[in-house]
Structure 1
Amino acid sequence: MHFFTGGCGDMLAFTKAGFLSLYAANHHSASAATARGNFPGLFVKEADLQSVDMRSVPPAQVLVASPICTEASPNSGRTAPRNPVELDENGRPKPGPDWPQTRITMWEPVRYAEVHRPMAYVGENVPAFGNSPLFKAWLHVWDALGYIPTLASVNAAHLKVEGMRPLPQSRDRLVWCFLRQDIGAANGLPDLRPTCDAICPTCGPVEGVQHWKKNPGFPVGEYGRRSRQYYYVCPNRRCGAPLEPITRGIGDVIDPMVRGDRFGDGYFKGKQRVTRTPYEQATRDRVAIGLERYRGKPFIVTLRNHCDASSLDDPIGTLSAQGGGHHYLASPTADLSVDECEYRPLTILEKARCQGFPDDHEFAGKEPDQRLQVGNAVPVNVAFWLAQRVMAVLPH
């Protein structure tokens, strides 16, 4: 059972792991069409789940649903509104900051579990979701329903997954499996301890294990960050040396046949594509840094605060929910001129590869719809790892 299907990254992964998908739901027309197109015969419900009576939804052994909860997380740059909505003279709300009610989606899996009692509920979100004020209250609700939570924090660029390579995108995720108590008592809980391939300077090639600087009993956080940060260490007890995960570079998914434009010509602003606008000085500076740093080799320019240029041998940063419009490929000319540099955004296909989608996976809708589905997708390798671990504790 799949709620909030989006680009179908989790459905693709769970199918690969041996699950049979029965039902998918999403309010977004293009996302619903993507599910129908890639999974013929699947029943797809196009609707806001808040309006769906869960008694009308069929039962399933596993619910896969990653709620949308971006507004109150640091990843979105917004916090909860503190002021009441102002009304005009007719009693209608005045225009103000956008605050979609997507936090409600975290309660839709609860409604489903209350009616159908699946063996497991599986999902993922940004790590900030786990540190939001409602998260622990949410866990208490699942406990009251008779489910045991298992949490893990993983990064798609590091995760060792049987049958899939790490992704060329550094993407921190909080993942979970809420297992029904009777299933857990009979078969144990899923092993959600992530590992990575690494080279220990003393022991050689090893599977690095996760080490938390503090509060290991609540493994919610991001790789290498200041708050609740974790890193990897050598698994040999006599060693325990800190390790750097072996990663995969973005160059693996770049299509060399796609050409860019001359940087000095600027870019088209607006849909009419009539007048070109020069790039801002901050963007020129990033390109100049890359030209100096990589001396004639193509590189990635990332248009985010505290980012500049990075090598094609490294993963890119997280693709945003808006479709990853922060990453550009710069290809220098022989004279290393900023203006003569060939410059283009990553294509939707390249971004989809960064999320682990195969090239034959088709995204429905117009280009903005496709960007949204790719940017919002569950990384396929993360979902596949999660599906394998959950499958191992379910009765067969």
Structure 2
Amino acid sequence: MLKYISLFSGGFGLDLGIEQAAYKSNVQIDLRVCLDISLAARETIRLNRPSLNVIGDNEGDFGGDLYQINSNLILQRANLAIKEADLVVGGPPCQSFSILGNRQGFEDPRGNLMLEFVRVVREIQPKCFVMENVAGFLSVDKGKSYQKVIDLFTEAGYLNTLTWVLDAVNFGVPQFRRRVFIIGFREGMEVRGLVPPDSTYFPPDAIGNNRNGLIYRCVRDVLENMPDGLANNERRIHSERVRTRYEQLVQGARDRIDHTDRLAWDRPSGTVLVGSTRGGGRPFIHPFEPRHLTVREAARLQGFPDDWVFAGNQTDQYRQVGNAIPPLLSEVVTRQIIAFLTQENPNPNEETLETNENLLLEMAK
């Protein structure tokens, strides 16, 4: 059984993908503890996975704020010792590295949360970590931020680090969404043969076919014939002025006032966005109706199952969806990692598990 820890769990897209990867690999996986600073995200996790151990709501949990949580607390709640976790995963907030943000990188407090992820990995010493972020992270400060993170992981004992840039649309998600996955293995573990997953979906050719694989999934595939009674499917109420404006937009066009795109029915969507805490999730405009997508419609573009219910107010729900990793993209990435970690002897040079008392004292400070 693989034991893992989830940081910045959010709407749970990364973890749902891990669940599916483990199921399809016939491997048992045990999420020992997860955390998030968002109360609504923690409510979502408890609502859908009530048996999970979630850091954030108990006394001494600091509201799930990783800046204040030391790794000793995480290990205690996970009932694990140093070097005993197989995997630590997480997608630190990415807005400070996004091309749509101000790209301040580590000058932005959200960027510094990436360094907190590195700290937890250094102190917990899992066999492997997976850190996800926007592809723009690689180019911030002409690559200096990316190199800084790689250097810090190397100093922490993760000499074998892989960087994969993948687009969710190439794996059956009806959305263009490029993401970078940084995957690291503890010193002594060989990673020969571990390569990015091959694309399985491709753009159609001139006559709508593709002989090299499946054709991109599009908006039609997930918004057509939606069942009645789905959770998180309440429509936003727009003013007559906004509805009139949206009615005049052709599919694929952008509204000049609120800069929102109208989806094209027979194409994948653009990247589902988060928006600010003041503006909600900034959802797309429906292809045929003069309104924003519902939370459930946006969740379908991300590939969330219909029975995954999002808690919180509507803005909270949109943000959980927009911040998430598409579960299917997570699945194709983590399935290969799970296969590697469960082979008979992936790390013949691994030291006998020992408790490092000095490190425990340091983490407890």
In the alignment, is the contact (CA less than 8 A) between 2:122 and 2:153 conserved in 1?
Answer: no
- What displacement does 1:379 show? 1.0
Which structure shows the higher helix fraction? 2
Q: TM-score, normalised by structure 2?
A: 0.73
Name the amino acid aligned to 2:100. Answer: N
Answering whether residue 126 of structure 2 is matched by residue 118 of structure 1, we say: yes
Answering whether residue 247 of structure 2 is matched by residue 247 of structure 1, we say: no
- Describe the shift of the 1:307–1:357 C-alpha distance in structure 2 as closer, same or farther (beyond 3 A): closer
- What displacement does 1:252 show? 1.8
Name the amino acid aligned to 2:44. Answer: T
2-side partners of 1:312 and 1:48: how far apart? Answer: 40
Alignment match, 1:372 = 319
- Describe the shift of the 1:8–1:326 C-alpha distance in structure 2 as closer, same or farther (beyond 3 A): closer
Correspondence 1:184-333 to 2 at 5 A: 185=190, 188=192, 190-198=194-202, 205-206=211-212, 246-254=215-223, 276=239, 278-279=241-242, 284=245, 287-288=247-248, 290=250, 299=251, 302-303=254-255, 309-322=262-275, 324-331=281-288
2-side partners of 1:319 and 1:204: how far apart? Answer: 26
Answering whether residue 153 of structure 2 is matched by residue 142 of structure 1, we say: yes
- Describe the shift of the 1:110–1:254 C-alpha distance in structure 2 as closer, same or farther (beyond 3 A): same
Residue 49 of structure 1 aligns to a residue whose secondary structure is coil
1-side partners of 2:296 and 2:149: how far apart? Answer: 36
- What displacement does 1:42 show? 1.0
Deviations 1:312-344 (A, max 9, x none): 11111111123652411243xxxxxxxxxx412
- What displacement does 1:146 show? 2.1
Answering whether residue 10 of structure 2 is matched by residue 63 of structure 1, we say: no
Q: TM-score, normalised by structure 1?
A: 0.68
Name the amino acid aligned to 1:170. Answer: F
Select the structure of larger CA radius of gyration. 1
The CA RMSD measured in Å over matched residues stands at 3.0
Which structure shows the higher strand fraction? 1
Alignment match, 1:178 = 184
1-side partners of 2:247 and 2:169: how far apart? Answer: 25
- Describe the shift of the 1:68–1:254 C-alpha distance in structure 2 as closer, same or farther (beyond 3 A): same
In the alignment, is the contact (CA less than 8 A) between 1:120 and 1:179 conserved in 2?
Answer: yes
How many aligned residue pairs are there? 298
Name the amino acid aligned to 2:32. Answer: L
2-side partners of 1:258 and 1:63: how far apart? Answer: 36
1-side partners of 2:182 and 2:303: how far apart? Answer: 20
Extract unaligned runs of 5+ from structure 1: 82-98, 160-165, 208-244, 260-266, 270-275, 291-298, 332-341
Residue 30 of structure 2 aligns to a residue whose secondary structure is coil
Residue 205 of structure 1 aligns to a residue whose secondary structure is coil
1-side partners of 2:255 and 2:270: how far apart? Answer: 10
- Describe the shift of the 1:348–1:309 C-alpha distance in structure 2 as closer, same or farther (beyond 3 A): closer
Deviations 1:62-88 (A, max 9, x none): 001111131243221x1439xxxxxxx
- What displacement does 1:192 show? 1.2
Name the amino acid aligned to 1:278. Answer: R
In the alignment, is the contact (CA less than 8 A) between 2:197 and 2:333 conserved in 1?
Answer: no
Name the amino acid aligned to 1:150. Answer: L
2-side partners of 1:107 and 1:300: how far apart? Answer: 38
Alignment match, 1:33 = 43
Name the amino acid aligned to 1:108. Answer: E
1-side partners of 2:327 and 2:20: how far apart? Answer: 10
Residue 315 of structure 2 aligns to a residue whose secondary structure is helix
Answering whether residue 50 of structure 2 is matched by residue 50 of structure 1, we say: no
Answering whether residue 309 of structure 2 is matched by residue 362 of structure 1, we say: yes
Extract unaligned runs of 5+ from structure 2: 23-28, 57-63, 229-235, 344-365
Correspondence 1:334-353 to 2 at 5 A: 342-353=289-300
Deviations 1:160-208 (A, max 9, x none): xxxxxx111111111221122322x2x535221442334789x97225x
In the alignment, is the contact (CA less than 8 A) between 1:61 and 1:119 conserved in 2?
Answer: yes
Alignment match, 1:152 = 164
Q: Percent identity, please.
A: 27
Name the amino acid aligned to 1:36. Answer: R
Which structure ranks higher in relative contact order (CA pairs < 8 Å, sequence separation ≥ 6)?
A: 2
In the alignment, is the contact (CA less than 8 A) between 2:254 and 2:261 conserved in 1?
Answer: yes
Residue 89 of structure 2 aligns to a residue whose secondary structure is strand
In the alignment, is the contact (CA less than 8 A) between 2:118 and 2:153 conserved in 1?
Answer: yes
